[in-house]
Amino acid sequence: MSDTVKKRIVLGITGGIAAYKAAELARLMMKRGMDVQVVMTDSATRFVAPLTFQALTGKPVFTGLWDDRIDNGMAHVEFTRGAAAVVVAPASADFLAKLAQGRADDLLSTLCLARDCPLMVAPAMNRQMWDNPATKRNVAQLKRDGVAVFGPASGEQACGEEGFGRMVEPEELLADVEGYFQPKLLAGRKVLITAGPTFEAIDAVRGITNRSSGKMGYAVARAALDAGAEVTLISGPTCLAPPAAAKLVKAVSAQDMLTAVNDLVGETDIFIGVAAVADYYVLNPSEQKIKKDAHILTLELAPNPDILANVVNLPNPPFCVGFAAESESLFEFAEIKRHRKKLPLLAGNLVEAIDSDESELTLFDDEGAHPLPRGPKIQHARSLIAHIAKLYGRRPAAGE
Ligand code: CTP
């Protein structure tokens, strides 16, 4: 989302235990510079007090159709005028049913019906309610009506059961809302991304790895999804939750990652190598834990395959993009690497930003270096995807 435009969001909250997560969502939206107006159903107020949301958004919360705080008495029309979206989170099974039927018997359902902006819902309910054919029918109807449905996620539920029905976590939901507004520059494209470090075993408990959080690769996956692409993310070991809409393939070693890439690359339009692949692996790793003794331990290392180079050198390669994290002379080393790897585009940064959510990134292509202003990784990922879309659109057709 452009930071210069303050988006007005009507945040609707319905009755479910996940209402407590909506407080965090409201906080994150405010932090991202959105102007948030909260509207709650009566049942939602049984879970969280309106005052919580008033304190977080700095605005009174509305719950009823007959509220005389709005001068013209038409809160259901007033709130969505000029709003960028109505986001209902959590959306209970009952509320989804109401929306699907176009009912309007409280403020939130009435303003959903009267709105002229996009409607997004984040369902949250017990897994059996979610699996019920009635709910499935209602959700299918809402999708046909153009309503964006985010989630639900799978996992442990407040009722003690496991399965689909949990509300998507607030950070992911915010990313979904922001993603909704992104231009669909890669609609219909298949994008394959490597991310995170690789881990090369020394023995049963030790290994060699690279310092990489995976945050940049996951942000690129998110940005590609938001641009309308079909995304497969091949990830080394990280602590991150992948974007729900990406196909995730887990890899440990560089060899695993190469195998996964080889399996999937045939279908790919764009390949983005963000992974910090270990350059060497240990010859003859020990199956058991190596016991310490007083002697010097020598490890024999052999070079790993270069995954990106393998893809670039395929007979019919996808559009390939590389990453380079350098500790010095970024502009010089990145350009050398781009030419050596025969890449139309390489994104380079200095290693200081590895664990951070923010980075400094420069894009290198045939026209030169394009430094991006310092900012969140997701913003850089979006700029990268826009740049890829531009170059991809200009590439010569096969055989030229
Ligand atoms: N890469 C890869 N496989 C490898 C090494 C690197 O796919 N075995 C990819 C990375 O994902 C990245 C790009 O190549 O997109 C550059 O990675 P980097 O480690 O900076 O490059 P190296 O060729 O390994 O050069 P260096 O000597 O700087 O380590």
Atom of ligand 1 nearest to the CA of 323: 15
Atom of ligand 1 nearest to the CA of 321: 15
pLDDT of 219 = 95
Nearest-CA residue for atom 17 of ligand 1? 324
| Structural Rg of the chain based on CA atoms | 24
Task: For the chain, give the number of residues.
Answer: 400
CB of 181 closer than 8 Å to CB of 84: yes
> Binning pLDDT at 50, 70 and 90, where does residue 397 land?
low
66 and 214 share one domain: no
Query: Is any atom of ligand 1 closer than 6 Å to the C-beta of 321?
Result: no
pLDDT of 353 = 56
pLDDT of 357 = 72
Lowest pLDDT segment from 21-30, 149-158, 368-377: 149-158
Q: Compute CA distances 206 → 201, 244, 257, 291, whole Å.
A: 6, 31, 19, 12
245 and 315 share one domain: yes
Atom of ligand 1 nearest to the CA of 324: 20
Look at residues 245, 241, 296, 234 and name the one whose alpha carbon lies nearest to residue 271: 234
Is it the case that residue 4 has pLDDT exceeding 70?
Answer: no
pLDDT digits 0-9 by tens, 201-213? 999 999 999 989 9
Query: Is any atom of ligand 1 closer than 6 Å to the C-beta of 277?
Result: yes
Lowest pLDDT segment from 44-58, 73-87, 138-152, 234-248: 73-87
Percent of residues, the chain, with pLDDT higher than 70: 96
Domain assignment present for 399: no
Domain assignment present for 350: yes
For residue 345, what are its two tokens?
């585009």
CB of 282 closer than 8 Å to CB of 213: no
Out of 180, 210, 236, a domain closes at 180
Nearest-CA residue for atom 24 of ligand 1? 279
Distance between CA 17 and CA 31 in Å, rounded?
A: 23
Query: What's the whole-number mean pLDDT along residues 47-51?
Result: 97
Domain assignment present for 267: yes
136 and 234 share one domain: no
C-alpha 326 to ligand 1 mean position (Å): 10
Is it the case that residue 294 has pLDDT exceeding 80?
Answer: no
Distance between CA 165 and CA 157 in Å, rounded?
A: 7
Is it the case that residue 399 has pLDDT exceeding 60?
Answer: no
pLDDT digits 0-9 by tens, 178-204? 999 999 999 999 999 999 999 999 999
Domain assignment present for 359: yes
CB of 98 closer than 8 Å to CB of 107: no
Is it the case that residue 3 has pLDDT exceeding 50?
Answer: no
Distance between CA 171 and CA 153 in Å, rounded?
A: 13
pLDDT digits 0-9 by tens, 330-369? 999 999 999 999 999 999 998 875 567 777 899 999 999 9
The DSSP bridge pattern shows strands 270-273 and 190-195 to be: parallel
Domain assignment present for 185: no
CATH for 353: 3.40.50.10300
pLDDT digits 0-9 by tens, 251-289? 999 999 999 999 999 989 999 999 999 999 999 999 999
C-alpha 70 to ligand 1 mean position (Å): 59
61 and 114 share one domain: yes
Work out the mean pLDDT of the chain and round it to a whole number: 92
Give residue 385's domain range. Answer: 190-394
pLDDT of 359 = 79
145 and 233 share one domain: no
Task: Choose the residue to mutate in 308, 323, 340 for probing ligand 1, maximizing ligand atoms within 8 Å of C-beta.
Answer: 308
Q: Compute CA distances 205 → 233, 286, 292, 399, whole Å.
A: 26, 10, 13, 50
Three-state helix/strand/coil letters over 91-131: ECHHHHHHHHHCCCCCHHHHHHHHCCCCEEEEECCCHHHHH
Question: What is the end-to-end Cα distance of the chain in Å, rounded?
Answer: 37
The DSSP bridge pattern shows strands 280-282 and 301-303 to be: antiparallel
State the DSSP code for 197.
Answer: B
279 and 201 share one domain: yes
Domain assignment present for 221: yes
Out of 139, 155, 180, a domain closes at 180
Is it the case that residue 244 has pLDDT exceeding 70?
Answer: yes
Query: Is any atom of ligand 1 closer than 6 Å to the C-beta of 57?
Result: no
290 and 332 share one domain: yes
pLDDT of 355 = 65
Nearest-CA residue for atom 20 of ligand 1? 324
Out of 121, 148, 180, a domain closes at 180
pLDDT of 189 = 97
Q: What is the pTM of this model?
A: 0.85
CATH for 93: 3.40.50.1950
CB contact set of 19 (below 8 Å; sequence gap of 6+): 13, 44, 47, 48, 90
Q: Which residue has the tokens 């641009």?
A: 227
Nearest-CA residue for atom 27 of ligand 1? 279
Is it the case that residue 398 has pLDDT exceeding 70?
Answer: no
Quote the Cα angle for 286-289-291, to 5°. 110
For residue 351, what are its two tokens?
């290693």
Distance between CA 246 and CA 271 in Å, rounded?
A: 14
Query: Is any atom of ligand 1 closer than 6 Å to the C-beta of 275?
Result: yes
Nearest-CA residue for atom 21 of ligand 1? 324
Q: Is the dihedral of CA 385, 391, 397, 398 positive or negative?
A: negative
225 and 352 share one domain: yes
For the annotated catalytic residues, the residue numbers are 159
| The total number of structural domains that make up the chain | 2
C-alpha 46 to ligand 1 mean position (Å): 54
Query: Is any atom of ligand 1 closer than 6 Å to the C-beta of 254?
Result: yes
Nearest-CA residue for atom 25 of ligand 1? 337
Query: What's the whole-number mean pLDDT along residues 366-393?
Result: 94
290 and 339 share one domain: yes
CA atoms within 13 A on the CB side of 178: 25
Query: Is any atom of ligand 1 closer than 6 Å to the C-beta of 151?
Result: no
149 and 203 share one domain: no
61 and 168 share one domain: yes
Task: Choose the residue to mutate in 220, 306, 384 for probing ligand 1, maximizing ligand atoms within 8 Å of C-beta.
Answer: 306
Domain assignment present for 322: yes
227 and 341 share one domain: yes
> Binning pLDDT at 50, 70 and 90, where does residue 1 land?
very low
Q: Which residue has the tokens 């046909």?
A: 144
C-alpha 353 to ligand 1 mean position (Å): 17
Domain assignment present for 42: yes
pLDDT digits 0-9 by tens, 297-331? 899 999 999 999 999 999 999 999 999 989 899 99
Exposed/middle/buried for residue 323 (C-beta within 10 Å: 0-12, 13-18, 19+): buried
pLDDT digits 0-9 by tens, 217-230? 999 999 999 999 99
Is it the case that residue 73 has pLDDT exceeding 90?
Answer: no
Distance between CA 161 and CA 397 in Å, rounded?
A: 53
